[in-house]
Amino acid sequence: MKVDLLIKGGTIADGSGEATFVGDVALAGDRIVHVGGAFSGEAAETIDATGLLVTPGFVDIHTHYDGQAVWSQSLSPSSAHGVTTAVLGNCGVGFAPCRKEDRQALILLMEGVEDIPGAVMAEGLPWDWETFPQYLDALARRPRDIDVACLLPHSPLRVWAMGERAIRREAATADDLARMKATADEALAAGAIGFATSRLNMHRTKAGELIPTYGADVDELCAVGAAMADAGTGVFQAVLDAPFSTWADEMARLVAVAESTGRPATFTLGLSNTGPRVWEPALDAVDAARAKGVEIWPQLLPRPIGMISGWALSTHAFCLCPSYQPLANLPLEQQLPALRDPAMRARLLAELPTEGHPLAALTRNWDWMFPFGDPPIYEPSADTSIGALARAQGRTPQEVTYDLLMENDGQGMILNTLGNFNEGSFDAMLPLLRRPDVSIGLGDGGAHYGAICDASYPTSLLSYWVRDRKGERLSVAEAVEMLTSRPARVMRLEDRGLLKPGYKADLNVIDMERLTLHGPELRHDLPGGGRRLYQEATGYVATIVNGRVIRRMDTETGEHPGRVVRGAQSAPVAVAA
């Protein structure tokens, strides 16, 4: 047999969680045709993987590339970190369905909820769609490096059905629910892989208004979810309002929707840094639901939930101070003369942030804020926090913060850990990662451009959790299963995530000894020169999508074989070499 690509002699972690083994993987077209011992046929191209790790392509089920997938051929940084399939439409926000008169409302929504600058969207979105099927077709017309699958987002759906009444968060009428359900029927038939919503109080428009879906009742969610029940397909994704509401109340709503639809549900789970383990009732509810046959999947980011602060980024400890406001919208080089002025420094050190703004408390979380650079440290020691450094130096946290931000010509950065760092350690996270019903997620690629770069989590999982962590670590097989077959199973994308004959030819070849996650840098490569945080990786020898090499030695090849995945995908029938 002649194949297109042979990956020879690598250490194979096949995505099942079973022990690694040395062998060959052969690809013909967009399918795997051989995994195991020495392949005896011919190959048009061979990659010598001796001493390297061979894995399935990674599946990131929580991204916001709804815009970037339209204006860019590269879904980076995700594709630079081994991701070969990304799920869009999470948190119930997106750009379809959308009438012409509602475009600005959705831009303001994405600007507020997902920190995507309005100017970037205005420049980058051609709006050659209105309906959700038309949006999928628009995605399919554009070449890109990796596959995308799309959830139907609740906020655009609600605005589509209700207009201004949705933005005012009025209760849906019976006619509204019928329109939403019919639109969901249409979306699922066209290839939506599920339905997504948000109940989170912190999700607000650019103007600070609550999003259209906040407060939508269970009856509305069940009415839309009935489309999934009728079609016998689709996953329900939700961001819940915990801990602002109780986990018990929020999980009861989620389980009610899952029971009503008969479809799996997944939600974002976060760990508190201090105090009682408030997430445990959520897991108790998951256990109780699964005991009744209701499939619930918590999603967990395998490093702190937080923000990266800097003068040129979305937030920092002084961003709400009155004296900073004239500088807030200026490029960094125009801010610096004022920031270097001792009088301005003194004013900013003395001022308090604007009261009442939700960011006010979050940006001065001194004992949970840490200097952040290259290499990036996501599990820092408590004695390196801003608060600890201030106490050790006999200075105020504001002074320490200001000076750190001024480092590297004003490009200094600080990691603000808001969650998933319980008692200053990842120890509480480890057993959750190992739960078979918890999926990794929340990479948020394509969003929060000026505050995070969590789409790089696959590289930190493999380099830190597997190799470098001083405490208990994950095995390679465990980590690869978490990045591949498990998230694929959650979203019913079961033709990928495993290295077996018949499965999609999506793979990574990784040099684990060299694998490195680099510190964040600021780039201005979004439409209209918009800025984003970006993290490079070193150690990805090859990333392959649909049988074609999209990256070699951490560099794009110019290949764009990515496709729009329409609907659930069944596990393939094995194809023998």
441 and 316 part of one domain = no
151 and 200 part of one domain = yes
Identify whether 575 is part of a domain.
no
Q: Supply 180's token pair.
A: 């939403």
Q: Supply 123's token pair.
A: 């420049």
Please, which residues have CB within 8 angstroms of residue 77's CB and are 6 or more apart in sequence? 445, 453, 455, 456, 534, 535
Query: Could you report the average pLDDT of every consecutive run of 10 residues in the chain (577 residues)?
Result: 96 98 98 97 98 98 97 98 98 96 93 89 96 98 98 97 94 97 98 95 78 92 98 97 86 96 97 93 97 98 97 95 96 98 98 77 93 97 98 98 98 97 97 97 94 97 98 97 98 98 98 98 96 97 98 98 98 67
Distance CA 55, CA 412 (A): 35
Domain boundary among 384, 419, 454: 419
Distance CA 533, CA 575 (A): 42
298 and 321 part of one domain = no
Identify whether 450 is part of a domain.
yes
302 and 312 part of one domain = no
Residue pair 547/503 in contact (Cβ under 8 Å)? The answer is: no
Please, which residues have CB within 8 angstroms of residue 347's CB and are 6 or more apart in sequence? 321, 323
82 and 39 part of one domain = no
282 and 366 part of one domain = no
Task: Name the percent of the chain in helix, strand, coil, to the closest 5.
Answer: 35, 20, 40
Identify whether 13 is part of a domain.
yes
Identify whether 563 is part of a domain.
no
DSSP string covering 107-151, please? HHHHHHHH---HHHHHHH-----SSHHHHHHHHHHS--SSEEEEP
87 and 14 part of one domain = no
269 and 231 part of one domain = yes
Identify whether 564 is part of a domain.
no
Task: Tell me the three state secondary structure of residue 390.
Answer: helix
Distance CA 168, CA 272 (A): 32
179 and 80 part of one domain = yes
Residue pair 211/204 in contact (Cβ under 8 Å)? The answer is: yes
Identify whether 215 is part of a domain.
yes
Q: Is the peptide bond preceding residue 431 cis, with omega within 30 degrees of 0? A: no
Distance CA 69, CA 125 (A): 10
123 and 201 part of one domain = yes
Identify whether 407 is part of a domain.
yes
Residue pair 35/577 in contact (Cβ under 8 Å)? The answer is: no
Domain boundary among 450, 469, 490: 490
Q: What is the pLDDT, as a whole number, of residue 576?
A: 46
Distance CA 8, CA 16 (A): 20
107 and 128 part of one domain = yes
Distance CA 96, CA 108 (A): 14
- How many structural domains does the chain have? 3
We report the CATH number of the domain holding residue 202 as 3.20.20.140
Q: Supply 355's token pair.
A: 């009261």
Q: What is the pLDDT, as a whole number, of residue 357?
A: 64
Distance CA 25, CA 27 (A): 7
DSSP annotation of 353 = P
Q: Which domain holds residue 25?
A: 2-56+502-557
State the pairing for strand pair 83-88/147-150: parallel
Domain boundary among 369, 403, 419: 419
Strands across the sheet containing 296-300: 152-153, 194-198, 235-239, 265-268, 296-300, 439-440
Identify whether 126 is part of a domain.
yes
65 and 206 part of one domain = yes
